[in-house]
Amino acid sequence: MTFTAFAAHSVARTRRSLRGIDRVILASLGLLAALAIVDRAQAWESLAFTLSSLLGIAPFLLLAVALAAYSGAAGVDRLLVRAFSGRAWMMVFAAAAFGALSPFCSCGVIPIIAALLAMGMPLPAVMAFWLASPIMDPEMYVLTAAALGLPFATAKTLAAAGIGIFGGFAVLILERSGWLAAPLKGQVSCCGRSAVSGPAEVRWAFWQEPARRQRFLAAAGQNLVFLGKWLALAFLLESLMLAYLPAESVGQWLGFGNPLAIPLAALVGAPAYLNGYAAIPTAGALMDLGMTPGAALAFMTAGAVTSLPAAVAVFALVRLPVFLLYLALGFLGATFAGLLYQASF
């Protein structure tokens, strides 16, 4: 065999091998391998950060996956869909209020959202919770009030609920206009279809029937792998952003005295990662340097809702129109919140 033929055979064999490897897992491994070449110390730190983050979110992930699988196997999702039918506008308010007080970060809320969508919950209510949840929680409110003042903490809480309500009703209007059908991607909607194709009757003790047990195990296993691999990639990207893209530098790029500071702050904050707790001293330092409170609020809320790690996980769950709408609502909501807060001064 000539060298050319051997090389062609090797390339073909490699391609066949790679086809059997999930692209998301391959991307994570390739990213770690490239990082190990250019910065070995950071590669180990990123790996440790990813594993630690996955371990931290594991209880929420397992609970969400189990609830979604149980709903499909027992047929509970039929009851939930019927219970909330025709009441989406009421659920938007409730979901936004609950989301503003829930203790979930932008990535931690992803398994919860996947379970809600899989069970057939109305997309407007899910979007309201999705947008509001990462912005504020009770513990963060106390810390924000201590560091940045009670008015800022209250404004951030109101912004969380307001962005959720704004996003929920925007989705409700678009949905009733015939858009946004089938929001979930195909590989996630296996349990989401249970509201239509699942068991006709509710069986709370589903494990007594072999078919339902099999349905539960299949749905739980598939969704656990699916969410786990995307969250791993999201946390890996998060570690790189924390290492190579300091939030302080991002904030300084905004400039001071700029009439477009608030929308620019939201635009820069949207892809940048800001952990809710780590963002508190950063925002305080930037405000001491001259950043307006409105710009700081827009930067913090946009970063919490649509950070790149969260966006990667969201993209894994929903179809492109819903994903783009999620990004637009996060940006617009953060901008409006910043403008309203700045107008109060």
Render the burial of 9-23: b for 16+ CB within 10 Å, e for the rest: eeeeeeeeeeeeeee
Residue 77 — pLDDT band, cuts 50, 70, 90? low
Residue 255: alpha-carbon gap to chain centroid: 29
Instruction: Give the per-residue pLDDT at 33.
Output: 95
DSSP 244-294: HS-HHHHHHTT-SS-TTHHHHHHHHHTTS---TTTHHHHHHHHHHTT--HH
- The answer to whether 185 touches 318, Cβ cutoff 8 Å, is yes
Instruction: Give the per-residue pLDDT at 51.
Output: 94
- The answer to whether 92 touches 165, Cβ cutoff 8 Å, is yes
Q: What is the mean pLDDT of the chain?
A: 78
Listed range (85-89, 136-140, 156-160, 187-191) with the worst mean pLDDT: 187-191
Percent residues over pLDDT 70 in the chain: 77
Q: Of 1-10, 56-65, 212-221, 313-322, give the range with the top mean pLDDT.
A: 212-221
Residue the block writes with tokens 């339902």: 212
Q: Of 6-15, 220-229, 280-289, give the range with the top mean pLDDT.
A: 220-229
Determine the average pLDDT of the residues in 158-178: 92
| Domain definitions of the chain by residue range | 23-343
Instruction: Give the per-residue pLDDT at 191.
Output: 37
Instruction: Give the per-residue pLDDT at 330.
Output: 92
Determine the average pLDDT of the residues in 213-221: 89
Render the burial of 287-301: b for 16+ CB within 10 Å, e for the rest: beeebbbbbbbbbbb
Q: For 33-49, how does the pLDDT look when each residue is reduced to its tens digit (9 = 90+)?
A: 999 999 999 999 999 99
Determine the average pLDDT of the residues in 242-269: 73
Higher pLDDT, 327 or 237: 327
Residue 186 — pLDDT band, cuts 50, 70, 90? low
Instruction: Give the per-residue pLDDT at 78.
Output: 61
Higher pLDDT, 276 or 90: 90
Q: How far apart are CA 237 and CA 215, in angstroms?
A: 33
Instruction: Give the per-residue pLDDT at 197.
Output: 41
Instruction: Give the per-residue pLDDT at 45.
Output: 95
Residue 18 — pLDDT band, cuts 50, 70, 90? very low
Higher pLDDT, 240 or 234: 240
Q: pTM value?
A: 0.70
Residue 182, pLDDT above cutoff 70: yes
Residue 300, pLDDT above cutoff 60: yes
Residue 20, pLDDT above cutoff 60: no
Residue 17 — pLDDT band, cuts 50, 70, 90? very low
Instruction: Give the per-residue pLDDT at 250.
Output: 59
Determine the average pLDDT of the residues in 283-301: 82
Residue 2, pLDDT above cutoff 50: yes
